[in-house]
Amino acid sequence: MPISGITVTVDPARIEEISKHLSSEFNAEVSAVKNNLIVVLETEDNKQMKEHFEAIAHLPGVATATLAYYSEETLEIS
């Protein structure tokens, strides 16, 4: 279950729109700092993480998406 932290720079006019889109479509935790979004993504596997990342980077209104943190551990059932 990989988890990643991503900074996303967006067009300020669309920050709300994109925040909402990210939290609904990608099930991400999103917080905004000025015009950057801090996005925490959790996915099933690496492949999905890659797809999500590419999708986010190519959203209209997104200038850059940068990977800041990436962690992968196997799931324990506790």
Q: Does 48 bind another protein (CB under 8 A)?
A: no
12 SS3 class: helix
Q: Does 29 bind another protein (CB under 8 A)?
A: yes
Q: Does 20 bind another protein (CB under 8 A)?
A: no
- Compute the distance between CA of residue 45 and CA of residue 38 in angstroms, rounded to an integer: 21
Which one, of 31, 40, 29, lies nearest residue 68 by Cα? Answer: 40
Which spans of this chain sit near another protein (rule: CB under 8 A)? 1, 3-7, 9, 11-13, 29, 31, 33-36, 38-40, 42, 49-50, 53-54, 57, 63-71, 73-76, 78
